[in-house]
Amino acid sequence: MLPLKRMLVPILLPCALLLTGCGSSFQVVKPTIDGELLQPCRDPQLAPPDNPSDNELAAERLRVAKAYLDCKARHATLADRVK
**pLDDT of the residue at 16:** 67
Let me know: does 77 contact 33? Beta carbons within 8 Å.
Answer: no
**pLDDT of the residue at 56:** 86
Residue 2, helix vs strand vs coil: coil
Is 48's pLDDT higher than 70?
A: no
pLDDT digits (tens, 9 = 90+) for 11-41: 776 766 666 655 555 667 777 888 887 888 8
- For the stretch 55-78, what's the b/e string if a residue is b when 16 or more beta carbons lie within 10 angstroms of its beta carbon? eeeeebeeeeeeeeeeeeebeeeb
The C-alpha atoms of residue 13 and residue 15 are separated, in whole angstroms, by: 5
Q: How far is CA 69 from the centre of its chain?
A: 20
In the structure, what pLDDT confidence band is assigned to residue 2 with cuts at 50, 70 and 90?
Answer: low
For the chain, what are the domain ranges? 33-83
